A = this chain, B = another copy of it.
Amino acid sequence: MNDSTTREERFAHGMEVLDKVDGEAGRRVLDALADINPELGHQVVAWAFGEIYDRPGLAPRDRQLVTLGMLTALGGCEAQLDVHVNAALNVGLTPEQIVEALTHSAVYCGMPRALNATLAAKKVFAERRLLPLGG
């Protein structure tokens, strides 16, 4: 994206990255913003995905590990955990690795944050018929 681009091209490029990582869940966020704050939707796509996610220095699965850690620590991000547990599966993390990352989070964020994130992941795993783990 170093050469000359228009705002529309930056958005279009971000949408390609978003679709690969977040899939339908990402599209639903944009739809929800359409009648109140389409600019915020534009920035999620063109900036967060088109510029940051697209950078080559960290693998997509690695980005989701960092993201799961952040969303768990922030708290109150159940909607975003829904999107990003899906994203984590989309880019190749296994359900077992996601669960292990959340177990690990108890050390740094404490049990309440680890439990809340685990129950957010459980909802996604149930929708994708991945439960019970190890079953």
Contacts and interface: CB of A to CB of B under 8 A. Distances in A.
A76 B73 contact: no
A133 B35 contact: yes
A78 to B, nearest CB: 8
Interface of A, secondary structure class, is helix
A104 B67 contact: yes
B6 A63 contact: no
A47 B6 CA distance: 14
A48 B109 CA distance: 12
Interface of A: 1-7, 29, 32-37, 39-40, 43-44, 47-48, 51-53, 55, 57-58, 62-63, 65-77, 79-80, 96-97, 99-116, 118-119, 121-122, 125, 131-133, 135
Given A43-B111, A57-B97, 20 more contacts: A4-B4, A4-B6, A29-B115, A34-B132, A36-B118, A36-B131, A36-B132, A37-B99, A43-B51, A48-B107, A52-B103, A55-B103, A58-B101, A62-B62, A66-B101, A69-B70, A71-B112, A74-B75, A108-B110, A109-B109
